[in-house]
Amino acid sequence: MDGGVITLLPAAVVIVFAVVTRKTFESLLLGTFICCVIAAGTGSVTMFIDFLNQAVSDIDVMWIVLISVLFGSLIRLLRESRAAWAFSDIIRKYATTGKRSLLITWLMGVVLFIDDYLSIMTTANTMMETCDRKKVPREMLAYVLDSTSAPVCVIIPISAWVVYFSGIFEAQPETAYLGGGMSAYYSAMPWMFYAWICVIIVPFVILGIIPRIGPMKKAWRRAEEENKPYSDYSKKFNEELPEIDSAGKVKVWHFLVPILTVVAITLLMDDILYGVIGGVLMCGILFLPSRIMTFDQFSDCMINGMQDMMWLAVLIVSGATLRYGVNEIEMPQFVIEAVSPYMSGAFLPVVVFLTVAILAFVTSGIWALPAVITPIVLPLAAAVGTSIPMTMGAIISGAVFGAHACFYADVTVLTSAAAKIDNMEHCMTQLPYCIMGGILAAIGFLVAGLVLI
């Protein structure tokens, strides 16, 4: 259908409703229903149910849900067994201040570049206790986790992001002169301005060179003055864990071996789902024979950990449902057509970046959107003489902005779950820094386009 400017209404409602009410799930369902009303009128209820069914049966969505709930089990096992605390005791020798704790968190996020989910969950599980003790707000921890997940994965070319984008670029004849998909990706890496900026500014925020802004400033005041690492609103995600008598039984390797198992199997199988399953099984191998846990405690931990992540699974499914809705009313196509007259010459890279960034932020179409826009933009770039690698860098930068800033993107939701805080609290505290990075990236693409084209 061609709904025109009305196709922007659902996105506007979702954003405003989420900010005002701090209810992500309800905002997503409301936005999806408005999409259905626009597309089907009296048949909106039937269409809404169809979209829900499609989201639940989507293989990629269920893959993310499975990873999330199994990571919940792994995290719970490592925490209740006190294995995470054993490792934190070592970290605390070096993380003597809040700033040092956050810099270590940043370094861990950079080192664990293999997969954004792995980076978020592993780093959070390792550093949360230490950061809490140093009066670091969970919102700041979440910002560092989020800023070293997708942004790092795209600029270090060994990740699922790289494989995905190189496949998209390889299918385009305009990239043939670059020597194939991976070669095209390598040529675009210097132009991934948002990803580079996003990772680089984190230490400046940690050290206070870039000041604490808005909601983040309030979160720091709460943590430092009231000794509350998380808000009262996020208490529901931080219930006290049952005490397990593991004194003298738990060593640091009880934490390291399961984590290294996740990393090794993920690398071997090229799928983090296998890795997290291996990590859970390794916990059983280590904890049961040594009587760190009884079989009943181990089983309860697994189930409780899955339950911890059920709200995350609900948000992931509802976000996918909204994507079906906005695609049905062709909102991305409307926006692309609206900005296409400005996609010319020197201004093409900045327009592409801003278009993809806005669409990815609104739709969370981090994976689907680049596949849609690349066949449109690259031929246009070739026709007007714009650098193909720079244009690809603009596409990836826009997608990373969406992954980083969108309230209901899988990476953002996973980060808030890993940091055990409300999703909207995480989004609103890091949004000013996302916008700052987006402005700097846009300026970079504008200057590069004017100077080099």
Percent of the chain scoring above 70 in pLDDT: 94
pLDDT for the residue 330: 85
Q: What is the mean pLDDT of residues 385-389?
A: 90
Instruction: Report residue 65's pLDDT band, with 50, 70 and 90 as the boundaries.
Output: confident
* Mean pLDDT (whole number) for 289-296: 89
- pLDDT at residue 377 greater than cutoff 70: yes
Q: Which is higher by pLDDT, 448 or 251?
A: 448
pLDDT tens string 295-351: 998 999 899 889 888 877 888 888 888 888 888 888 878 887 887 777 777 889 999
Residue 288 has pLDDT above 60, yes or no: yes
- Is pLDDT of 203 > 90? yes
The region of weakest confidence among 99-103, 125-129, 267-271, 296-300 is: 267-271
pLDDT at 143 over 70: yes
Q: Is the pTM of this model over 0.85?
A: no
Residue 70 predicted with pLDDT over 70: yes
pLDDT value of residue 195: 94
pLDDT of residue 30: 93
Query: Which whole number is the average pLDDT over 360-369?
Result: 77
Q: What is the pLDDT of residue 271?
A: 79
Q: What is the distance between the alpha carbons of residues 64 and 70, in angstroms, rounded to a whole number? A: 10
Q: Is the pLDDT of residue 388 over 60?
A: yes
Please state, in angstroms and as integers, the Cα–Cα distance from residue 255 to each residue in 73, 92, 244, 427, following that order. 14, 15, 16, 30
pLDDT at position 129, please?
A: 84
Looking at per-residue pLDDT, the higher value among 99 and 117 belongs to: 99
pLDDT at 241: 58
> Mind listing the pLDDT tens digit for each residue in 144-159?
999 988 888 888 766 6
Q: In whole angstroms, give the CA distance from residue 206 to residue 100.
A: 9
Q: What is the pLDDT of residues 205-248, one digit of tens each?
A: 999 999 999 999 999 999 999 999 999 888 888 776 565 555 55
What pLDDT is recorded for position 409? Answer: 84
Q: What is the mean pLDDT of residues 49-70?
A: 88
pLDDT level of residue 17 (50, 70, 90 thresholds): confident
How high is the pLDDT of residue 290? 87
CA distance 451 to 453: 6
2 compared with 302, residue with greater pLDDT: 302
pLDDT of residue 1: 58
Out of 58-62, 369-373, 391-395, least confident range: 369-373
Q: Smallest Cα–Cα separation from 215: which of 147, 143, 150?
A: 143
Render the burial of 188-206: b for 16+ CB within 10 Å, e for the rest: bbebbbbbbbbbebbbebb
What token pair was written down for 30? 């409301």
Band of the pLDDT at 435, cuts 50, 70, 90?
A: very high
Mean pLDDT score of the chain: 86
Percent of the chain scoring above 90 in pLDDT: 38
